[in-house]
Amino acid sequence: MANTSVVYDSLVKIVGKDFVSDRREERYFYARDGGLMPPHEPDFVVMPRTTEDVQEIVKLANREKVPIVPIGAGLALTGLVIPQRGGIVLDMKRMDRILEVNERARYVVVEAGVTQGALKNYLQRHYPNLRHSIPDAPPVATVVANAVIHGQGRLSQQHGFNSDMVSGLEVVLPTGEVCRIGSCSVSSYWFSKGAPLPDLSGLFLGWFGTTGVITKLGLKLYPCKKMRDVMVFLADKAELVPDIMLRLSHTEMVEDAVVSAAPLPLRFRGTFWVMAYITGDSDEELEFKRKMVWDALWEHFENRDVGFLSVPPDMKAPLMSMPSKDTTRFADVSKGGGFQYAGPITPIEKFPAFHRKLEEVAAKYNVFYASTTRLIGAGHCMMFSFSFSFNRANPDEMARAKKALDECSRFSLEEGGVLWKADVDEQKLLMNKMDPNTLALIRKIKQLLDPNGIMNPGNWEVP
């Protein structure tokens, strides 16, 4: 058991007293997130400013065997940054510098606290012909945390998970060494996280901070066209959605493809909104892409299985906004400040079964639902969200929402899906189903990198 006053004093020496708290209020807030996982308080909340600060803090934690949990904005909603064993929560948001944009190699290097909103603004202002894959999380979500949980964004249909777009890392290992990953380990350029070297980024992406603290990240940028539009198609048969999505993807003209469904407003109940986003540098380019999308779905139009929704400007604006505030607004549907979603990654063909399950579970547990599905890669998989809102002042509704989520997660696994940003219980479900040799490999890697088990303990803990 570490001497807490020694740890506190040491932390103050590293970052200054303004940026260390062991007070009840900070410990309360950082003990929980907006989802349904039970809280657990840290002993300290610390805000480093530099990689050197992080290095000193990690060395201290390793020496004193104090758990350490790096946090961005804490928006995963599955409790991934709840300090299950207390210790130090490392709030990274003071490390907020955008360090470099290489316009011609199309990448940016950011510190770990840079928010999605700040990066979006910076690129719009200084590099209007470049963009990154913006997730629909609120803008305070950090670029690094989104990559660490394998987030998706507006460019995921074309380029895969946002973590696939990482082009380099700087990591403080659990034993205190600062390590560069990717091209930046041998060069001043941050254009690749792996190839042609051994790809070590997999030791950190998807590990939820259990193998080190990412302090800098390179991220690939993509062309930002001058114009953008959304085409909204309506379908009332879940069985048709996979085919619609594949046809859209086949055009290679669609930037982003999303399907949403919700029971309200009533006029849209039972209707799937298929949104195809297109971009262009000219009217001609945009019109050409519109035509390609129409042609791709024409057979369904002729069969009257799909309709086109002419979207008025006031309805189009929220669909076009990045990030989408509507995603966040779902938290207030129950007038209670909470929602959580299970978001399995799964083949597109599972859409009808998943949607049926969503409706069944929502009815069974009497909870309000919504669903957003995003195509990832060129149709290689999708993220299907089983989203349930709940009222934080209604413990019974919270319990029902949690049961609904748990049932959806188990169902997703049975159907061949893989749980995204799995909470600690879901991680156990995944590990129970995992190939034993894979599991053993995870254990070996973890023991090698983090011999004292200080990094976000409770997560990815192989039994």
Q: Pick the binder of other proteins from 54, 66, 73, 449 (CB under 8 A).
A: 73
Judged by beta carbon, residue 272 or residue 390, the one nearer other proteins is 390
Q: Pick the binder of other proteins from 195, 363, 393, 441 (CB under 8 A).
A: 393
Using the structure block, give the residue that is written with the tokens 């192989």. Answer: 462
Strands 386-391 and 381-384: unpaired
Task: Return d(Cα 416, Cα 420) in angstroms, integer.
Answer: 13
Binding region for other proteins (CB under 8 A) out of 274-282, 330-338, 377-385, 426-434: 330-338
Q: Are the beta carbons of 422 and 34 closer than 8 angstroms?
A: no
Using the structure block, give the residue that is written with the tokens 């085919």. Answer: 243
**Beta strand spans in 112-155 (E):** 130-131
Write b or e for each residue in 297-317: b if 16 or more Cβ atoms lie within 10 A of its Cβ, otherwise e. Answer: beebeeeebbeeeebeeeeee
Using the structure block, give the residue that is written with the tokens 């696939």. Answer: 164
Task: Return d(Cα 123, Cα 103) in angstroms, integer.
Answer: 10
Task: Return d(Cα 57, Cα 268) in angstroms, integer.
Answer: 52
Binding region for other proteins (CB under 8 A) out of 16-24, 192-200, 399-407, 411-419: 16-24
Q: Work out how close the CB of 63 gets to other proteins at its nearest, in angstroms, rounded to a whole number.
A: 25
Q: Which amino acid is at 347?
A: P
Count Cβ atoms below 10 Å from residue 363 Cβ, excluding itself: 12
Binding region for other proteins (CB under 8 A) out of 53-61, 110-118, 255-263, 411-419: 110-118
Task: Return d(Cα 173, Cα 191) in angstroms, integer.
Answer: 22
Judged by beta carbon, residue 286 or residue 322, the one nearer other proteins is 322
Task: Return d(Cα 152, Cα 426) in angstroms, integer.
Answer: 20
Give the x-and-dash track for 289-328 against other proteins (CB under 8 A).
------------------------------------x--x
Q: Work out how close the CB of 150 gets to other proteins at its nearest, in angstroms, rounded to a whole number.
A: 21
Positive or negative: CA dihedral 205, 209, 211, 212: positive
Task: Return d(Cα 452, Cα 174) in angstroms, integer.
Answer: 8
Judged by beta carbon, residue 263 or residue 336, the one nearer other proteins is 336
Q: Which amino acid is at 213?
A: V
Q: Pick the binder of other proteins from 7, 10, 11, 21 (CB under 8 A).
A: 21
Q: How many residues bind other proteins (CB under 8 A)?
A: 45
Can residue 329 be called a binding residue for other proteins (CB under 8 A)? yes
Judged by beta carbon, residue 29 or residue 222, the one nearer other proteins is 29
**Beta strand spans in 173-226 (E):** 178-181, 213-220, 222-223
Give the x-and-dash track for 25-64 against other proteins (CB under 8 A).
xx-xxx--xx----------x-x-----------------
Judged by beta carbon, residue 73 or residue 184, the one nearer other proteins is 73
Task: Return d(Cα 375, Cα 246) in angstroms, integer.
Answer: 9
Q: Work out how close the CB of 440 gets to other proteins at its nearest, in angstroms, rounded to a whole number.
A: 38
Binding region for other proteins (CB under 8 A) out of 90-98, 307-315, 347-355, 366-374: 90-98
Using the structure block, give the residue that is written with the tokens 């979006």. Answer: 120
Binding region for other proteins (CB under 8 A) out of 22-30, 57-65, 341-349, 438-446: 22-30
Can residue 82 be called a binding residue for other proteins (CB under 8 A)? no
Give the x-and-dash track for 113-152 against other proteins (CB under 8 A).
--xxxx-xxx-xx------------xxx------------
Residue ranges in contact with other proteins by CB under 8 A = 18-19, 21, 23-26, 28-30, 33-34, 45, 47, 73-75, 91, 93-94, 115-118, 120-122, 124-125, 138-140, 325, 328-329, 331-332, 335-339, 391-393
